[in-house]
Amino acid sequence: MSTHRVLTGFLLALGFVLVLVHSVWARRIVILYAAASPIVKALGVPEDEVVGVTRTDQVFPRATKVGSHLRPNLELIRALSPDLVIVGSKKAFPDSAAERLKAAIFRYDPRTLKEILEAIEALGRVLGREEAARNLVVELKAELAALKPLPRRPNVIYEVSSLPLKVAGRRSIVNDIIRVAGGRNLVTAEKKHVLLSPEAVLALNPDFYLYQVGPMNRNPVSPKKRPYFKGLESRVIRVDEHEFARPGLNAFSAAVKLNRIFFETLNQRP
């Protein structure tokens, strides 16, 4: 009886080690969170090693599409017998689902630019590409050197979707992009997306009202043309959702771009 148990424990431990070793030399990768794909590519992973991606992913066109990031097809994923699966937040891909995959799981869910850099380094370790990861981090940090100091800290509200009116809260990557760009997100709720009354937007009276256009906000009416925003005095800026609301490499250039907009606008006005 006890030998049996010991044997089982040994086998389990062996399996664990094997999985670990295997994941270091990952050859078959499935990416269920599209924002991670550009990073994987930038780390120099060859295209044929990425075997599965979500249906919106354009970075690895030859990989099999395994559904959407909220509803991936576990059967398809298992059929690809991946060594490593890169997933998003626990909300998008719960642990219970991860356990069933029998592959190493890498959770990619950064909320700030700093966490993105950390995630890149961690991913570099898992993929055995520490060198490339370090270079990428340096490169991204260098990109931020273009940030210019602003005369004052502008107040910002970022619209995620217009129907319903949802804005970026503190846990959104956008929050940190705004902070790094030198602004202040007026919405302080501890959430990714916050359902906000237009009244509150008017009352908060931000200097900049950013609204994203993309899958979350497909064809928004320009804010100033909406009946409830007729009295909005903020400067309204349209941004691309893919560029701003994805926690990936794009976040750094987005911060720089936003900083430039702030800089030019604030220096124009007395």
Partner 1 sequence: MRRETLIVGTLVVVFFLSLVLAIRYGAVAIDFAHLDKIEKNILFQVRIPRVALAALVGAALSLSGLLFQYVMQNPLADAFTTGAAASSALGAVAALVLGAEALVLPSGLCGAMVGLFTVFRVASFRGRLLPVTMLLAGIVVSTFASAAISLLKFLHEDSVASIVFWLMGGFQNASYGRVGLLVLVIGGTLIFLWKRRLALDLAAFDDATAVSSGLSIDRLRRELLFLGALLTSVSVAFSGIIGFVGLIVPHILRLCGFYRAEHLIALSLLFGSTFMLLADLAARSILPGGEELPVGVLTSSLGGLFFLYLLIHRKRQLYEMD
Residues binding partner 1 (CB under 8 A): 68, 70-71, 161, 163-166, 189, 194-200, 202-203, 205, 215-216, 218-219, 226-232
- In the complex with partner 1, which residue's Cβ is closer, 54 or 250? 54
Nearer to partner 1, 15 or 215 (CB): 215
Minimum distance of partner 1 from residue 175's CB (angstroms): 15
* Residue 91 CB-density burial (10 A; 0-12 exposed, 13-18 middle, 19+ buried): exposed
Give SS3 for 209.
Answer: strand
Going by C-beta distance under 8 Å and a sequence separation of 6 or more, which residues neighbour residue 204? Answer: 155, 157, 186, 187
Looking at the Cβ atoms of 192 and 257, the one nearer to partner 1 is 192
Q: Given the complex with partner 1, which of 22 and 226 has the nearer CB atom?
A: 226
- 7 Cβ contact list (under 8 Å, min separation 6): none
Q: In angstroms, what is the minimal distance from the CB of 71 to partner 1?
A: 8
Closest to 255 in 3D by CA, of 144, 152, 156: 144
Phi, psi of 31 (to 5 degrees): -110, 115
Provide the minimum distance between the beta carbon of 59 and partner 1 in the complex, in angstroms, as a whole number: 18
Nearer to partner 1, 49 or 240 (CB): 240
Query: Measured from the CB atom, is 70 or 79 closer to partner 1?
Result: 70
Q: Measure the CA–CA gap between 32 and 82, rounded to whole angstroms.
A: 12
44 torsion bin: left (phi>0), alpha (psi -120 to 50), beta (else): left
Minimal distance in Å, beta carbon 50 to partner 1?
A: 22
| Nearer to partner 1 (CB atom), residue 69 or residue 129 | 69
What is the smallest separation between the CB atom of 237 and partner 1, expressed in angstroms? Answer: 20
Q: How far is the CB of 159 from partner 1 (least distance, A)?
A: 13
Q: Are 34 and 57 in contact (CB under 8 A)?
A: yes
Q: What's the burial of 75, exposed, middle or buried (CB within 10 Å: 0-12/13-18/19+)?
A: exposed
Report CA 55 to chain centroid distance, whole Å. 16
How near is the Cβ of 201 to partner 1 at its closest, in Å? 8
